[in-house]
């Protein structure tokens, strides 16, 4: 194996890793995004070229390609339009700009107006707003620089007090003095309901919907696209040979029936791209000199890790004493038909069991058992019944009503898997009679 | 990439997995990782070890310590910039955090992945609803190469909060098996102790504790605490080091007693050592019982008031006649009253609230001498409430007939009743 091949593999690995991890830069070709990009591109082009104002919402589920769409459209405008160097882009995100004051400060910053506002008090909300509004309103259609404002997590902006920011942005966009395009990006389909009436009436009601791939074929195609290398990888003969070898290997992989089965299973759970990427992530990471190709076994192993039942994992690690308490709770829930139980009842059941059946478990004092019980609460395997929370302060912890969050079948599985579980405990899990 | 597995025993697979996930420092990695597993199964130590070993910029913050957003954010910024000046990285919203992170990133001229580890990440759920999704999206929000690692004892599904949160890449740390526990405990043995000798000691410790406790931290504490007891006869020259059976006989009662105190920490470690040293000098392994903190000294009438309150809390009001009226005649035992409903057992269901009048009536009938209902008596009731032996139920403004609940356990009240020569069990409906 030559050194050249090693670097090639490393290169391929980091390219694919970047595709898997970086969101908003999907390189996949998807017809629906192309159509949406055309629409949105036209709209923004008109703002940039002719100074038309506009507002639009991009709605789609998480991971459906909204950011990819925006990034692609902005890139196109940057490359094509002659007016592009004049264009100002302001990007806001509902996670970062958690209220209107911060959002305004950020807009000022991104428009590079801090210097103009420098001698004024920067903290005052009203002043900043007035200043910005004046700056934005005073422009005119032909001469002013066009501005594109992108609001990611648009629904969070709608939660700001009085929706002042949204109102003013839409108002300016509607007035049509300064060329301004407002793009909202959200995953909430009911986003229109969140807007106040006065805000809603100023919005252009243009919405672009993006969906996840709807068929299994598209989904598998997505899987292949992520892995395939393209011409940009390299130009030398060695590069080309590597790409050819790699791509044919990927084609084989997607024809493998066990891989297809895993993809089908995953598709039935969730059509989004990110779980798909997660399945691929570990196999790609483990590519190395000794292990040059992704095998179906790798995919199977990593999907196994992802489908792993986390509650079973947690149950596997509790002590025998805690497991016994869970069994007691499960029986109590069964006997009282889902009514809540308290520690005292669980302890009583546990005593019955340990005195009659299991002599190894006899030596525990009540405080020790209570500690074990509290550990289970900490692990959130059981919780306080909601409406008792309010006066739980007055109630001793032994008598606080609790409900179990472990299903009987989960428990049975956990007991079966538990390493070195005493036989009498196993029997007790099967039947409540002691 | 190779690693030194001897530093952290039994976690080789996890270390390898993390190293392969992190990959080359300049590569983009998953924006967020979620590491979970039981407490003290090596999550933090393995992460620290791997991050130190790879020599990548990183910061570890503990979400319990950083109890507000601004403390959390400045801890992150300080850790990354290596700048200890508290004032310079003050920031209290996510927007400033993003800007400052960019500033730090650029000033350090990094081009590799920067890792931010949030230990005890379950605490982040109690903060404002959008903090956690924002932190998970940090890579996208700052468009810098950040990787956020959340470390928690809880599985990921406990983090769903209804606002839509991107699922991070999940890494599970399995619990240690019994033999792994033994190996690790041996690994942490005190200096200058023979491995085989200690191994045998550890196997005894595990045999006693493993059913009740699989927490490495607690087991380590217990084994360190009792090791001097185990060694004492060898040091005194009574047994040989190889005398395993005798050593076992010697230490077992001490460990059994420690099992009764598991996790409780009623006495400090120093006191515990002292307590067991006294018994060392004598040959017999008679153990002094740990002082029972469950009893407290109360005035005469307070004790009776407490007993009365206990009876009122745990007996149904309808049975008072049977217990306290002289010549009430034999109660008719119907089939219905004979069949005890376990659901109504108040020692399982917990104490009921009772009005003051009922408690006073019981009080007068159990105290032999005549007690005038003076302010003294009533002030003792409020003392009992301040001592948290009684709890006042309902609103403060119900002064004409306040209601109480007795909050002491049966063991406690039995101990109190015993000092008064009062057989309380005879007066409890659940035990008739």
Of the three residues B149, B172, B195, the one that is the final residue of a domain is: B172
In-domain check, residue A14: no
If DSSP codes are grouped into helix, strand and coil, which group holds residue B169? strand
Check whether residue B76 and residue B165 sit in a common domain. Answer: yes
In-domain check, residue A230: yes
* Residue B288 in this model has a pLDDT that exceeds 80: no
* Residue A131 in this model has a pLDDT that exceeds 60: yes
Rounded to an integer, what distance in angstroms lies between the CA atom of residue A185 and that of residue A58?
5
Q: B83 falls in which pLDDT band (50, 70, 90)?
A: confident
The C-alpha angle B211, B217, B223, rounded to 5 degrees, equals: 70
Q: What's the distance, Cα to Cα, between the start and end of chain A in Å?
A: 66
Check whether residue B320 and residue B400 sit in a common domain. Answer: yes
* Residue B1 in this model has a pLDDT that exceeds 50: no
Do the Cβ atoms of A285 and B259 come within 8 Å? no
Q: Quick check: B307 and B420 in contact, CB under 8 A?
A: yes
Q: What pLDDT is recorded for position B282?
A: 44
Check whether residue B168 and residue B184 sit in a common domain. Answer: no
Rounded to an integer, what distance in angstroms lies between the CA atom of residue B432 and that of residue B428?
7
In-domain check, residue A160: yes
B210: chain A residues, CB-CB within 8 Å: 319-320
Joined together, the tokens standing for residue A312 give 């079973």
Range of the domain at B263: 178-281
- DSSP annotation of B23 reads -
Give per-residue pLDDT as tens, B165-203: 888 999 999 999 988 999 899 888 888 888 888 998 999
Range of the domain at A65: 22-209
Q: What pLDDT is recorded for position A27?
A: 64
Check whether residue B158 and residue B196 sit in a common domain. Answer: no
Task: Average the pLDDT over each of B39-48, B84-93, B120-129 and give the range with the smallest value.
Answer: B84-93
| DSSP alpha helix (H) spans, B188-332 | 195-209, 216-236, 244-260, 269-281, 300-314, 320-324
Check whether residue B19 and residue B133 sit in a common domain. Answer: yes
Q: Which residue would you say has higher pLDDT here, B73 or A178? A: B73
Check whether residue A84 and residue A191 sit in a common domain. Answer: yes
Rounded to an integer, what distance in angstroms lies between the CA atom of residue B170 and that of residue B167?
8
Provide the CB-side half-sphere exposure for A164 (13 A, CA). 14
Q: Which of B271, B284, B351, B363 is nearest to B320 (CA)?
A: B363
Q: What pLDDT is recorded for position A217?
A: 87
Do the Cβ atoms of A62 and B164 come within 8 Å? yes
* Residue B333 in this model has a pLDDT that exceeds 70: no
Q: Quick check: B205 and B223 in contact, CB under 8 A?
A: yes
Check whether residue B314 and residue B426 sit in a common domain. Answer: yes
* Residue A77 in this model has a pLDDT that exceeds 90: no
Q: How far is CA A162 from CA A96, A172, A186, A195, B327, in A?
A: 19, 17, 19, 10, 75
Of A348, A360, A379, the CB nearest to B348: A348
CA distance B335 to chain A (A): 23
What lies within 8 Å, CB to CB, of A118 at 6+ separation is none
Question: Could you identify the residue written with the tokens 């076994």?
Answer: A297
Q: What pLDDT is recorded for position B395?
A: 73
What lies within 8 Å, CB to CB, of A31 at 6+ separation is none
Is the Cα torsion angle B27, B28, B30, B31 positive or negative in sign?
A: positive
* Residue B5 in this model has a pLDDT that exceeds 70: no
Joined together, the tokens standing for residue A86 give 């004049």
In-domain check, residue A6: no
**Average pLDDT rounded to a whole number, residues A226-236:** 82
Check whether residue B136 and residue B222 sit in a common domain. Answer: no
Do the Cβ atoms of A317 and B41 come within 8 Å? yes
Q: In what order do the strands lie in the sheet with A180-186?
A: A88-93, A147-152, A180-186, A54-60, A207-210
Length of chain B: 432
CB atoms within 10 A of CB B87: 6
Give per-residue pLDDT as tens, A11-28: 888 888 888 887 766 666
In-domain check, residue B369: yes
In-domain check, residue B208: yes
**Average pLDDT rounded to a whole number, residues A292-305:** 88
Question: Could you identify the residue written with the tokens 């589920």?
Answer: A61
Check whether residue B252 and residue B321 sit in a common domain. Answer: no
CB atoms within 10 A of CB A406: 20
In-domain check, residue A292: yes
**Average pLDDT rounded to a whole number, residues B235-239:** 82
Percent over 70 (pLDDT), chain B: 90
The total of structural domains in chain B comes to 3
Give per-residue pLDDT as tens, A382-396: 888 866 555 545 677
Check whether residue A173 and residue A290 sit in a common domain. Answer: no
* Residue A154 in this model has a pLDDT that exceeds 90: yes
Q: B156 falls in which pLDDT band (50, 70, 90)?
A: very high
Q: What pLDDT is recorded for position B393?
A: 83
Q: What pLDDT is recorded for position B195?
A: 87
Q: What pLDDT is recorded for position B152?
A: 94
* Residue B90 in this model has a pLDDT that exceeds 90: no
Task: Average the pLDDT over each of A152-156, A198-202, B270-274 and give the range with the smallest value.
Answer: B270-274
Check whether residue A204 and residue A251 sit in a common domain. Answer: no
Helix-strand-coil percent breakdown of chain B, rounded to 5? Answer: 50, 10, 40
Q: What pLDDT is recorded for position B286?
A: 44
A398: chain B residues, CB-CB within 8 Å: 350, 409
In-domain check, residue B5: no
Task: Average the pLDDT over each of A151-165, B101-115, B237-251, B284-298 and give the range with the smallest value.
Answer: B284-298
Rounded to an integer, what distance in angstroms lies between the CA atom of residue A305 and that of residue B14?
13
Phi and psi, residue A185, nearest 5°: -120, 130
CB atoms within 10 A of CB A41: 18
* Residue B128 in this model has a pLDDT that exceeds 90: no
Q: B229 falls in which pLDDT band (50, 70, 90)?
A: confident
A403 bridge partner residues: A383
Check whether residue B20 and residue B135 sit in a common domain. Answer: yes
Of B27, B141, B347, the CB nearest to A95: B141
Of B17, B95, B261, the CB nearest to A96: B95
Check whether residue A280 and residue A413 sit in a common domain. Answer: no
Rounded to an integer, what distance in angstroms lies between the CA atom of residue B387 and that of residue B381?
10
Q: Which of A14-28, A95-109, A313-327 has the highest mean pLDDT?
A: A313-327
In-domain check, residue B27: yes
Check whether residue A271 and residue A350 sit in a common domain. Answer: no
Check whether residue B157 and residue B183 sit in a common domain. Answer: no
Check whether residue A334 and residue A187 sit in a common domain. Answer: no
CB atoms within 10 A of CB B368: 7
In-domain check, residue A193: yes
Do the Cβ atoms of B28 and A281 come within 8 Å? no
Rounded to an integer, what distance in angstroms lies between the CA atom of residue A49 and that of residue A148?
12
| SS3 of chain A | CCHHHHHHHHHHHHHHHHHHHCCCCCCCCCHHHHHHHHHHHHHHHHHHHHCCCEEEEEEECCCCCHHHHHHHHHHHHHHHCCCHHHCEEEEEECCCCCCHHHHHHHHHHHCCCHHHHCCCCCCCHHHHHHHHHHHHHCCCCCCCCCEEEEEECHHHHCCCHHHHHHHHHHHHHHHCCCCEEEEEEECCCCHHHHCCHHHHCCCCCCEEEECCCCCHHHHHHHHHHHHCCCHHHCCCHHHHHHHHHHHHHHHHHHHCHHHHHHHHHHHHHCCCHHHHHHHHHHHHHCCCCCCCCCCHHHHHHHHHHHHCCHHHHHHHCCCHHHHHHHHHHHHHHHHCCCCCECHHHHHHHHHHHHHHCCHHHCCCCHHHHHHHHHHHHHCCCEEECHHHCCCHHHCCHHHCCEEECCCHHHHHHHHHHCCCCCHHHHHHHHCCCC
Q: B86 falls in which pLDDT band (50, 70, 90)?
A: low
Check whether residue B314 and residue B419 sit in a common domain. Answer: yes
Q: Quick check: B362 and B428 in contact, CB under 8 A?
A: no
Q: Quick check: B134 and B31 in contact, CB under 8 A?
A: no
Of the three residues B123, B147, B172, the one that is the final residue of a domain is: B172
Rounded to an integer, what distance in angstroms lies between the CA atom of residue B365 and that of residue B9?
67
Task: Average the pLDDT over each of A423-427, B264-268, B396-400 and give the range with the smallest value.
Answer: B396-400
Rounded to an integer, what distance in angstroms lies between the CA atom of residue A204 and that of residue A52?
13
Joined together, the tokens standing for residue B402 give 């306040």
CATH of the domain at B399: 1.10.10
Question: Could you identify the residue written with the tokens 């089908």?
Answer: A264
Percent over 90 (pLDDT), chain A: 22
Check whether residue B70 and residue B215 sit in a common domain. Answer: no
Interface test with A, best of B96, B133, B162, B169 (most A CBs within 10 A): B169
In-domain check, residue B399: yes
In-domain check, residue A16: no
Q: What pLDDT is recorded for position B327?
A: 65
A276 → chain B, closest CA residue: B169
Check whether residue A29 and residue A176 sit in a common domain. Answer: yes
Check whether residue A293 and residue A415 sit in a common domain. Answer: no
In-domain check, residue B295: no
Check whether residue A118 and residue A202 sit in a common domain. Answer: yes
In-domain check, residue A7: no
Joined together, the tokens standing for residue B52 give 């130190």
* Residue A2 in this model has a pLDDT that exceeds 60: no
In-domain check, residue B2: no
A342: chain B residues, CB-CB within 8 Å: 348-350
Rounded to an integer, what distance in angstroms lies between the CA atom of residue A151 and that of residue A171?
16
The total of structural domains in chain A comes to 3
Check whether residue A113 and residue A39 sit in a common domain. Answer: yes
If DSSP codes are grouped into helix, strand and coil, which group holds residue B247? helix
* Residue A166 in this model has a pLDDT that exceeds 80: yes
Q: What pLDDT is recorded for position B33?
A: 93
B214: chain A residues, CB-CB within 8 Å: 317-319
If DSSP codes are grouped into helix, strand and coil, which group holds residue B409? coil
Question: Could you identify the residue written with the tokens 């995100």?
Answer: A93
Size of interface A-B (CB pairs under 8 A): 162
Q: What pLDDT is recorded for position A32?
A: 79
Q: Quick check: A347 and B348 in contact, CB under 8 A?
A: no
Q: Quick check: B213 and B205 in contact, CB under 8 A?
A: no
Rounded to an integer, what distance in angstroms lies between the CA atom of residue B329 and that of residue B44?
70
Of the three residues A209, A229, A253, the one that is the final residue of a domain is: A209
CATH of the domain at A165: 3.40.50.300
Of the three residues A283, A307, A331, the one that is the final residue of a domain is: A307
Do the Cβ atoms of B260 and A368 come within 8 Å? yes
Q: Which of B259, B171, B333 is nearest to A321 (CA)?
A: B259
Q: Quick check: B273 and B224 in contact, CB under 8 A?
A: no
* Residue B20 in this model has a pLDDT that exceeds 70: yes
Of B164, B167, B262, the CB nearest to A187: B164
Interface test with A, best of B180, B348, B389, B413 (most A CBs within 10 A): B348
Check whether residue A123 and residue A204 sit in a common domain. Answer: yes
- DSSP annotation of B118 reads E
- Strands B146-152 and B114-119, how do they pair? parallel
Q: A92 falls in which pLDDT band (50, 70, 90)?
A: very high
* Residue A151 in this model has a pLDDT that exceeds 90: yes
**Average pLDDT rounded to a whole number, residues A181-189:** 91
* Residue A125 in this model has a pLDDT that exceeds 70: yes
CATH of the domain at A401: 1.10.10
Check whether residue A278 and residue A352 sit in a common domain. Answer: no
């Amino acid at each position: 194996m030559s050194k050249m091949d090693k670097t090639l593999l490393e290169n391929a690995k980091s390219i694919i890793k970047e595709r898997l991890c970086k969101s908003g830069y999907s390189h996949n070709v998807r017809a629906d995004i192309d159509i949406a990009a055309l629409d949105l591109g036209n709209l923004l082009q008109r703002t940039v070229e002719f100074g038309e104002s506009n507002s639009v919402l991009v709605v789609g589920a998480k991971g459906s390609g909204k950011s990819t769409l925006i990034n692609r459209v902005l890139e196109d405008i940057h490359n094509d339009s002659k007016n592009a160097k004049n264009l100002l882009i302001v990007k806001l995100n509902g996670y970062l700009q958690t209220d209107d004051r911060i959002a305004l400060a950020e807009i000022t910053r991104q428009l590079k107006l801090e210097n103009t506002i420098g001698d004024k008090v920067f903290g005052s909300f009203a002043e900043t707003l007035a200043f910005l509004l004046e700056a934005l309103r005073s422009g005119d259609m032909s001469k002013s620089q066009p501005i594109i404002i992108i609001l990611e997590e648009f629904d969070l902006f709608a939660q700001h007090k009085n929706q002042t920011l949204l109102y003013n942005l839409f108002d300016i966009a509607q007035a049509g003095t300064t060329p301004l395009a407002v793009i909202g990006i959200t995953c909430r389909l009911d986003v229109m309901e969140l807007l106040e009436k006065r805000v809603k009436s100023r919005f252009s009601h243009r919405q672009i919907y993006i969906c996840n791939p709807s068929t299994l074929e598209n989904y598998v195609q997505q899987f292949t696209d992520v892995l395939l290398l393209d011409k940009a990888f390299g130009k030398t003969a060695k590069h080309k040979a590597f790409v050819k070898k790699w791509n044919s290997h990927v084609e084989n992989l997607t024809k493998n029936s066990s891989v297809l089965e895993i993809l089908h299973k995953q598709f039935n759970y969730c059509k989004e791209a990110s779980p798909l990427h997660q399945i691929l992530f570990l196999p790609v990471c483990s590519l190395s000199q000794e292990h040059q190709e992704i095998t179906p076994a790798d995919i199977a192993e990593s999907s196994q890790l992802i489908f792993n039942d986390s509650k079973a994992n947690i149950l596997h690690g509790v002590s025998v004493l805690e497991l016994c308490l869970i069994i007691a709770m499960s029986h109590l829930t069964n006997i009282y038909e889902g009514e809540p139980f308290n520690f005292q009842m669980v302890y009583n059941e546990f005593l019955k069991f340990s005195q009659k059946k299991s002599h190894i478990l006899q030596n525990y004092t009540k405080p020790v058992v209570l500690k074990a019980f509290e550990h289970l609460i900490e692990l959130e395997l059981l919780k306080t019944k909601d409406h008792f929370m309010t006066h739980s302060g007055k109630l001793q912890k032994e008598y606080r009503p609790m409900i179990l969050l472990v299903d009987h079948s989960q428990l049975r599985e956990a007991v079966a898997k538990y390493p070195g579980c005493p036989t009498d405990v196993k029997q007790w899990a099967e039947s409540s009679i002691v | 990439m190779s690693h030194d597995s001897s530093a952290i025993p039994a976690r080789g697979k996890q270390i390898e997995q993390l190293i392969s996930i992190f990959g080359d420092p300049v590569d983009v990695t998953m924006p967020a990782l979620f590491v979970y597993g039981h407490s003290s199964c090596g999550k933090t130590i393995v992460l620290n070890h791997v991050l130190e070993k790879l020599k990548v910029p990183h910061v570890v913050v503990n979400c319990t310590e950083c109890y507000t957003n601004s403390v959390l954010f400045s801890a992150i910024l300080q850790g990354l910039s290596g700048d200890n000046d508290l004032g310079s990285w003050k920031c209290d919203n996510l927007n400033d955090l993003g800007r400052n992170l960019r500033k730090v990133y650029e000033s350090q001229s990094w081009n590799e992945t920067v890792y931010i580890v949030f230990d005890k990440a379950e605490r982040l759920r109690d903060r404002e609803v959008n903090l956690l999704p924002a932190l998970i999206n940090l890579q996208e929000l700052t468009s810098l190469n950040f990787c956020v690692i959340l470390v928690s004892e809880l599985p990921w599904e406990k983090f769903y909060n209804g606002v839509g949160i991107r699922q991070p890449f999940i890494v599970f740390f399995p619990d240690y098996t019994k033999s792994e526990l033994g190996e690790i405990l041996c690994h942490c043995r005190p200096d200058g102790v023979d491995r085989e000798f200690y191994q045998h000691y550890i196997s005894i410790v595990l045999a006693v504790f493993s059913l009740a406790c699989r927490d490495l931290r607690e087991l380590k504490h217990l084994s360190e605490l009792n090791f001097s007891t185990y060694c004492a006869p060898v040091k005194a020259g009574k047994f040989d080091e190889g005398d395993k059976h005798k050593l076992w006989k010697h230490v077992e009662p001490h460990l059994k007693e420690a099992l009764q105190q598991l996790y409780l920490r009623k006495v400090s470690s120093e006191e515990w050592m002292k307590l067991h040293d006294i018994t060392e000098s004598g040959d017999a392994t008679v153990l002094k019982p740990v002082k029972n903190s469950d009893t407290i000294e109360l005035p005469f009438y307070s004790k009776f008031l407490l007993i009365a309150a206990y009876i009122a809390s745990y007996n149904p009001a309808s049975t008072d006649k049977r217990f306290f009226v002289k010549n009430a005649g034999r109660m008719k035992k119907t089939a219905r009253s004979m069949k005890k409903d376990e659901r109504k057992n108040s020692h399982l269901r917990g104490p009921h609230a009772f009005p003051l009048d009922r408690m006073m009536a019981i009080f007068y009938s159990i105290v032999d001498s005549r007690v005038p209902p003076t302010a003294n008596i009533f002030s003792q009731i409020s003392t009992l409430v301040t001592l948290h032996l009684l709890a006042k139920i309902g609103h403060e403004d119900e002064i004409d007939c306040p209601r109480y609940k007795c909050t002491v356990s049966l063991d406690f009240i039995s101990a109190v009743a015993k000092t008064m020569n009062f057989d309380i069990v005879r007066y409890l409906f659940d035990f008739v």
